[in-house]
Amino acid sequence: MSCSKSSLKSLVLCAFCLNFLFLSEVYSQSPRVASVEFKACTPSPEICGNGIDDDCTGGDALCPTADFDNDGYENNSDCDAKDHSVYPGVSVECKADCGDGVKTCQAGGSFSACSCDTLCESKGSGRCFYVNPVSGNDNNSGSYAQPLKTVRRLVTYASSKGTSAPANRITLIPGDVIYLMSGVYQDEYVTYEPEFLQHVLKLNGVRGTSSAPIVFKAYPGNVPVISPAGVARGIEVRNASHIHFHGIQIKGASHAGVAGFDSDNLKFTNMTIYDTDGVDNDNPAGLYFTYVNNLEVSNSVIHDNYDRTCADTGGQKTENSRNIVLFKGGNVKIHHNYIYQSQSTNAQKTGSCLVYKHSQSVSGGLFEVYNNVFRNCFFTAVGNGGYGGRIHHNLILNSDTGVMVKDMGGNADGRDNIVEYNTFVNTTAFEFNPSQFIQGNYNYGTFTFRNNVISDDSNYGADAGGIFDIDIYGSNAAKDITENSTLLVTDNNCFFNAKGPVKMNYFASNSSAVRSAGDLYSLSGWKNIGYDVNSVETNPLLSAVNYKSSVSACSGKGW
C-alpha cells in the first residue's frame, strides 16, 4: 500500500491504516512530501472514528453516531465527517483550475473555495514565515517562494550560554504564523545552557496574545516531522504564552517530545507524538508540562512514549514513563485524542498514558479529560494526584486501571473529582485511595463515580482485585473518615464481569487489627452499605465497533 503525495488527508489516513509512520532519511523528488516507510499492521480491536485501521481491514470504521470521526464536531457541522483531523478552522490541500491550492473548513461545516493563493493566517501585525528542510535556505527571507531551511533563526537563544544566535535571527511577535513543510527537522541547538538537554525547537519568553497567538503548524498537504538526530527534546516552551502547535509529528525525542515550563495558554492540535525515550526516574513523556496554565491538547495521536531500557530501575518498568505527564499548573483540557501503548500492560517495557502527578496550583482549576480513547495503559489510563478532575465520555480499553485518584508522588490534593459517562473494557474501572490523602495531611474531598459502563474479565482473589479498588490496604480509621465525610459517591453504573459476579474491593485487605473492617463486596452487598443503589449488573453487550451498549439497563451510560 502506498500513500498519495497530493493530499495531507490521504497521507495521514494511509499512515494511520498501517499504525505507524516512519520517515526515512531519503527524501522524494518532491520538495513537499518526504518518502515514508511503514511497519506491518498488527490487528487489534477496531475503534471507530480514531482515524486508525486497528483491525487491519483497510480503513477506520465510522462511528454510528452524530460524530462519525469523533473529532468533536457533529456530522452536519463537520467539513469531512470521515476524517478526525479535519474540522472547522483546519485548512487542507485541494485542486483547482489554477493548480494546487488550499481550502479552509468553515464554521457550519462547509469548505471555502479552493484558492491557489499562498496561505497566510497571521493576525494583527503578525507575519507569515515558511520553512522547508528540503529546498529552503537559512539565508532566505522566509517567504513562501524563499523558505528557510531550519528553525534556527526562529528559536530562542541564551544571551551568553549555549549555541550563539545567528546575526539574522527573527524575533517572533504576536500574530506570527510559521508554516512547516514536509521533511525531517532534526538539527539540534543548545539554546539555553549546555548542561540542559538540547532541542530542535525552543521558545523562551515568546508571547502571543489571546487574539493574536503565535502559531507553528504544518502547511496544508505537508507532514513535518521533528526527529532529533541525537539526545534532544523535540519542542520546549518556557515562560511563554499563547502559543499554538498544529499538525506536527514528533518522533524519537529524548525525555520529552514536547516540554512546557512556567507558561500559559499553550495549545496542541492534530499532533502525532511517539517513540519518546528517556530515563525512567526523570519522568519521560511524549508531552511533559510543569507549571503550565490553560493548556489544551486535542485531536492528536500520542503513543509509545516510555523508557526503552529502564537501566536506572534494574531493567523493570515503573509508572514513571507516560504518554502525558503534568506537574502543578492548572486548567487543563485533554480531549478527542487517541492515547495508547502498542504493547500489552504486562510487557516488560511500556508505560502509562496520562497522569497529573502533582496537584494543580491554580485555585479552582479543572483537569478535564473527555472524548479520548485510551488503550493498553500500564498502571493507569488517567491518574490524578490532585483536585478538580472531570473525567468523562472516554473509552478505556485493556488497561491496568482506568482512573486513579491517589498520591502520585507528593503535592497531592484529593478534593472534588468526578468520573462519569466513561466505558471501561477489560480494565479495573478506578482506584481511589483516601488514606493516602488523610495520612499525608493533604486536602481530601469527595470522589464521584457515576453513569459509567464497566465490562471486565478479571479473576478476583479472596481479598484482592475487584471491578474497582478503594483503598485495599487502607486502615479502619481511613474507612470511617471515608464514610463519615462522604468521600465516596458511586451510583447509576452498569457493571459486568465475564467470569462471574462483580466484586467491589473496599478496604478489603484485612491483614491486621487496624485493617479489618473492609470486604470484597458483591453488588447486592455493596448496595446494602449505601453505594450504587441504582446501579445494575448485566452484560452491556457492547458493540465491537463503537463500544456502545445495546442493553436498555445500560442506556444513557458510558461514553
What is the full DSSP assignment across 366-383?
Answer: -EEEES-EEES-SS-SEE
Confidence category of residue 5, pLDDT binned at 50, 70, 90 = very low
Question: Which triple of cell numbers denotes residue 434?
Answer: 483516601
* Distance (Å, whole) CA 98 – CA 117: 10
Question: Of 81, 99, 116, which one is at a domain's C-terminal end?
Answer: 116
Instruction: Say yes or no to pLDDT of 23 above 50.
Output: no
* Distance (Å, whole) CA 208 – CA 173: 7
Instruction: Say yes or no to pLDDT of 40 above 70.
Output: no
156 found inside a domain: no
* Distance (Å, whole) CA 211 – CA 308: 41
Instruction: Say yes or no to pLDDT of 8 above 80.
Output: no
**CB atoms near residue 277 (< 10 Å):** 17
Instruction: Say yes or no to pLDDT of 394 above 50.
Output: yes
Confidence category of residue 136, pLDDT binned at 50, 70, 90 = very high
User: Is residue 351 within 8 Å of residue 323, measured between CB atoms?
Assistant: yes
Share of the chain above pLDDT 70, in %: 89
404 found inside a domain: yes
525 found inside a domain: yes
Q: Which of 370, 270, 272, 283 has the alpha carbon at shortest distance from 325?
A: 283
Span 62-74, pLDDT tens digits:
676 788 899 999 9
437 found inside a domain: yes
Can you give the pLDDT at residue 10? Answer: 38
148 found inside a domain: no
- Sequence-separated (6 or more) residues with CB below 8 Å from residue 346: none
Can you give the pLDDT at residue 545? Answer: 86
Partner residues linked to 520 by β-bridges = 505
Can you give the pLDDT at residue 198? Answer: 87
Q: Which of 287, 273, 438, 450 has the alpha carbon at shortest distance from 356?
A: 287
Instruction: Say yes or no to pLDDT of 189 above 80.
Output: no
CB contact burial 356-375 (16+ within 10 A = b; e otherwise): bbbbbebeebbbbbbbbbbb
Span 469-512, pLDDT tens digits:
999 989 999 999 999 999 999 999 999 999 999 999 999 987 77
Confidence category of residue 24, pLDDT binned at 50, 70, 90 = very low
Q: Which residue has the cell 528517556?
A: 278
Can you give the pLDDT at residue 64? Answer: 67
445 found inside a domain: yes
**CB atoms near residue 50 (< 10 Å):** 25
Question: Of 81, 116, 151, which one is at a domain's C-terminal end?
Answer: 116
Can you give the pLDDT at residue 450? Answer: 98
Can you give the pLDDT at residue 44? Answer: 75
DSSP-assigned letters across all residues of 515-533:
B-S-EEE-HHHHHHTTSST
User: Is residue 298 within 8 Å of residue 336, measured between CB atoms?
Assistant: yes
Question: Of 89, 116, 143, which one is at a domain's C-terminal end?
Answer: 116
Can you give the pLDDT at residue 192? Answer: 57
Instruction: Say yes or no to pLDDT of 219 above 50.
Output: yes
Arithmetic mean of pLDDT over the chain: 89
* Distance (Å, whole) CA 239 – CA 224: 25
> Where are any strands of DSSP class E within 39-172?
91-96, 99-104, 128-131
236 found inside a domain: no
Give the 3-state secondary structure of residue 434. helix
Span 72-81, pLDDT tens digits:
999 999 999 9
10 found inside a domain: yes
Number of domains making up the chain: 2
* Distance (Å, whole) CA 420 – CA 523: 19
Higher-pLDDT residue of 513, 82: 82
Instruction: Say yes or no to pLDDT of 125 above 90.
Output: yes
Q: What is the mean pLDDT of residues 436-446?
A: 93
Tell me which DSSP letter residue 166 carries.
P
Domain assignment of residue 472, given as a range: 384-559
User: Is residue 430 within 8 Å of residue 419, measured between CB atoms?
Assistant: yes
Confidence category of residue 17, pLDDT binned at 50, 70, 90 = very low
Least confident of 21-30, 512-521, 527-536: 21-30
**CB atoms near residue 115 (< 10 Å):** 15
